[in-house]
Amino acid sequence: MAGILMMTVCLARSPAQGVRAWLDTAPIPTYYEAPPETTPTFEPLFGVNAVYPYTARPNGGEKAASRRWSKISKTAVPDVSSEDYAFPLLAALRLNTDTAKSAAEAAVLKLRGPDAKANASSKDVLRWNEGLLLRELGKEDEAMALFEAGLKGAASAWMQYLNLLAIEQR
């Protein structure tokens, strides 16, 4: 739950540089249905499958039609100083650890590198992203040390809060 909250809050903050969002459409198979039943079933007469007080929707279509639905698309090249930086790598690690592990390890090295530290707007964000990646790579002790340092030394209350959430997820 806290992880979802963390992602939601991170994405809801002011947009980072290089982020582009637009309204788009996507074809999605859609099943059309007949009108609902007009007489709702209820438990005393129909048993546990009753849906009273709601009408049942048993008349679903069997054939899908391709319909274009609206969606909001977002693209960004994550900057190492963004709170969003680690999330695509975390998702890739959870989906396929074998193929994403080398990319995550390279990202940790990038976060530790002099270029990232020289160009980052916040060293606290670098430390937090590094902790997230290390945790997912199975290096819990190193990750916890970074989160604890971030909790004690982060300049902003926001980063202190994110580190506290990470510590509590242990």
Which pLDDT value is given to residue 134?
Answer: 96
Q: What is the pLDDT of residue 165?
A: 94
| pLDDT tens digits, 52-93 | 555 555 566 677 788 888 888 776 656 787 888 898 899 989
Q: Report the pLDDT value the prediction gives residue 61, as an integer from 0 to 100.
A: 66
**Residue 29 CB partners (closer than 8 Å, separation 6+):** 64, 65, 66, 67
Q: What pLDDT sits at residue 150?
A: 92
The rounded average pLDDT for each run of 10 residues, N- to C-terminus, in the chain (170 residues) is 43 51 84 68 60 58 80 73 86 88 92 81 89 95 95 91 92
DSSP tag of 15: P
**In the chain, where the domains are located:** 24-34+41-73, 76-168
Distance CA 107, CA 109 (A): 5
Angle between helices 123-136 and 97-112 (to 10 degrees): 150
Residues 7-14: contacts with CB within 8 Å, 24+ apart?
7/87, 10/83, 10/84, 10/87, 11/84, 13/83
